[in-house]
Structure 1
């Protein structure tokens, strides 16, 4: 591996796709017969939403090294993203034929077979990808596989069709990063839908009373009381993959800005009672949020004042309070909202390179920033109670955090109108109701107990 390739791969792992692509292009120019350099350049293209370029580099890598299983697996995953199940199955089967122990291919082929209706084969492959031995999957990815396996078992038990989910692999899947194994949770079994234990806010407060490090994991449901739409509501009006995937953004960037305008609507959005209550939660270790609205930080300022230090808020999916150029990564220092409702053409353009500006959020097909994911994992490992508020838990990698918590023996309390998909395979406690009604009552009870 030449120096340019090494540098490019390091930048890719660190989450700097733009710089990585530049180094990897030079590495390929310097060593055009280096299949691995072409493979890693394909990953950089993919993470930038450049699917045509990614596919071309993967095919070139396979011409140079026909047994390069990861390249076959990536062609399979690109087909999976595009909804081409038979093509995905073909490429992933080829990956396993050349490298039977390639766990990522087992996992992704299991997903493809599940969505193609081959349930038993899917379950077998998903199980085998979790077996102990060399090349074990990284902990977060292993928990994601467990979630897929739990859903597949429920599909089988109920005779249900699998729900559509975003199939874009995570960066751990793309780069096959190795990590120390986490505590093993038992493989899920199912005889049908499980039921969460239901509790009142007071009962949940008693459950949390002994905790000294409470971590909150929040989703769009906590911001409903602030007048913001949930993901489910947005996807009733928009085609999710067409509107907010990085692949479609390159073709029609103006659509993403139309979705943002729909999401933000008119007027200011203020923290509601749920945000304010969470800001007053005793022994709050931190907040990991899938939201991009910045309302947790604003709630802390309202409750504690501007100078008061606050627990960390990890915005897994980024924020609408910042924008950047998709092409050159220049940051103009403006919020996404400042471009909405003005005469600025959509998409707004970068003053440096004329590339399309975008909010600094994670689109479907992109990865969560490695530093944010590391911080979230550290908080999960340190907490002794996990409070999950207003999220369906159907988007990775956030959906795997409660599984890691439960593997460590941490209780999981959900605040949601109905139980999330977690309840299918994890023991959770559900406090049913709207976040802005239930969470203040729970936090008030918890404060009285301290």
Structure 2
């Protein structure tokens, strides 16, 4: 089928009576907001050594780690705003088509676009976690500015509340994501290679429970020839805005 036929098929699946849907998003959905992917040509790991967000390195060299964290995540990404793909996902949720958004991203752009039920598989930039007392705080400038950010309550070292290398996935996000996948009728996969474990198993879990997979990607991924039912090739913004219009036209 060509693109227009695939879009029509995807819209019909989304609008099927009683269908429960979820979105599963990766770095590709935020590229058009100015946030580069981690991997691949032009990715962050071509410019930076990823050791600065390796957990043992962070504890051994918190000042060095925080200097890179500040530059990469808070200074460089600080001005990013939701794009049309994030907004289309939020609109599909508002219209009752999506019940959950599972994202591998830490940029909080889904929430800023208006999505309400977001499971952040890899955590979030918007919060800081005290490594001593376990309290969480908003990632405000006055807390992240010091060379070694410290907890205002106990003085312990603060870290961004996202998953570092060699760190486990938050239990609530892990369990919630797989529960949502096992109970949905379709998944819209957007902007992910399908290679990062264990997150990449979420759409496969949905497939094992009978869900249809709609994939939105510029290139084929690890999902395309294994679990994808409808492949929509293109940039996330263009495809998702087109899909939203098609879904709305089904009313």
TM-score by length of 2: 0.85
1:365 to 153, 157, 166: 166
Aligned pairs, how many?
Answer: 240
Query: Are the counterparts in 1 of residues 106 and 120 from structure 2 also a CA contact under 8 Å?
Result: yes
2:99 match: secondary structure: strand
Query: How many Å apart are 1:279 and its aligned residue?
Result: 0.9
Query: How many Å apart are 1:293 and its aligned residue?
Result: 1.6
Match of 1:292 in 2: 106
Which is richer in helix?
1
Query: Are the counterparts in 2 of residues 213 and 285 from structure 1 also a CA contact under 8 Å?
Result: yes
Tell me: CA distance 1:321–1:432, structure 2 relative to 1, closer, same or farther (3 Å).
Answer: same
Verify: 1:334 aligned to 2:115, yes or no: no
Match of 1:173 in 2: none
Verify: 1:230 aligned to 2:37, yes or no: yes
Match of 1:322 in 2: 127
Which is richer in strand?
2
**d(CA) in 2 for partners of 1:263 and 1:373?**
23
2:23 match: secondary structure: strand
2:202 to 401, 411, 414: 401
* Unmatched tracts of structure 2, length 5 or more: none
2:88 to 277, 280, 287: 277
Query: Are the counterparts in 1 of residues 35 and 77 from structure 2 also a CA contact under 8 Å?
Result: no
Match of 2:56 in 1: 247
Give runs of aligned pairs for residues 36-435 of structure 1, distance below 5 A. 199-200=3-4, 201-210=7-16, 212-232=19-39, 233-240=43-50, 242-257=51-66, 258-264=68-74, 265=76, 267-281=78-92, 282=95, 283-300=97-114, 310=116, 312-331=117-136, 333-335=137-139, 339=143, 342=145, 344-345=146-147, 347-423=148-224, 425-435=226-236
Give runs of aligned pairs for residues 28-39 of structure 1, distance below 5 A. none
* Unmatched tracts of structure 1, length 5 or more: 1-196, 302-309
* More RCO (CA 8 Å, sep 6+): 2
Query: How many Å apart are 1:208 and its aligned residue?
Result: 3.3
Q: Greater Rg, structure 1 or structure 2?
A: 1
